[in-house]
Amino acid sequence: MRAARVDRRTSETDVSLSLALDGTGAASIATGVGFLDHMLDLLARHALFDLDVTAKGDTHVDDHHTVEDVGIALGQAFREALGEKRGISRYATVHLPMDETLSRVSVDISGRPFLVFRTAFPTQKIGTFDTELVREWFQAFATNAGVTLHVETLYGDNSHHVAESCFKGLARALRAAVAIDPREADRIPSTKGAL
């Protein structure tokens, strides 16, 4: 089973996370940041990953450290769970509609971390959540997962819908990219022989 557990403790946060790539979408999320919990629950459900996350952070300062460190931990778990990446599809692109919003998410599970994030939020906050933290989470995840990730919102008027389309788009792209391609058999999907 492709699964991993990460415990990340710093002076700012304490994150415990377990991830199973070949799951059913079951999630138990408690980060202390309500909007992040909602996004991670959506991510697990639409990727069909089983995800358990508990985090305690210095949210009395703001949500930044918790959001970033959860992204780091999930990226590390994702990378570890994939191992050598034998037989995976590797690439995926998804256009994800969320009411008036449409986002495109493309992923290459390449071993080369890179993020292009072309998404603008109509508001600075979604409830009490700073919308700039969405990019911070995606940056932390992409860097630590070792994936090339392009996220672009083509249009959208509601900040909640924009964020949700990005997370759901990532979920669906990861679901497709980690899927085992029977034509690849047990090969690593690269002419280099390693990812």
Asked whether the CA dihedral 73, 75, 78, 81 is positive or negative, the reply is negative
Per-residue confidence (pLDDT) for residue 194, from 0 to 100: 84
Per-residue pLDDT of the chain (195 residues; tens, 9 = 90+): 899 999 999 999 999 999 999 999 999 999 999 999 999 999 999 999 999 999 999 999 999 999 999 999 999 999 999 999 999 999 999 999 999 999 999 999 999 999 999 999 999 999 999 999 999 999 999 999 999 999 999 999 999 999 999 999 999 999 999 999 999 888 999 988 888
pLDDT the model gives residue 187: 92
Where does residue 62 rank: exposed (0-12), middle (13-18), buried (19+ CB within 10 A)?
middle
Amino acid, res. 109? I
The residues spanned by each domain of the chain are 3-178
Per the CB < 8 A criterion, the answer to whether 162 and 122 are in contact is yes
Class of domain 3-178: alpha beta
Cβ contact 129:36 at 8 Å: yes
Check residue 1 and give its pLDDT.
87
pTM: 0.97
Q: Which amino acid is at 88?
A: I
Strand partners, 118: 152
Q: What one-character DSSP code corresponds to residue 127?
A: T
8-state DSSP, 90: -
Chain mean position to CA 73: 10
pLDDT reported for residue 191: 86
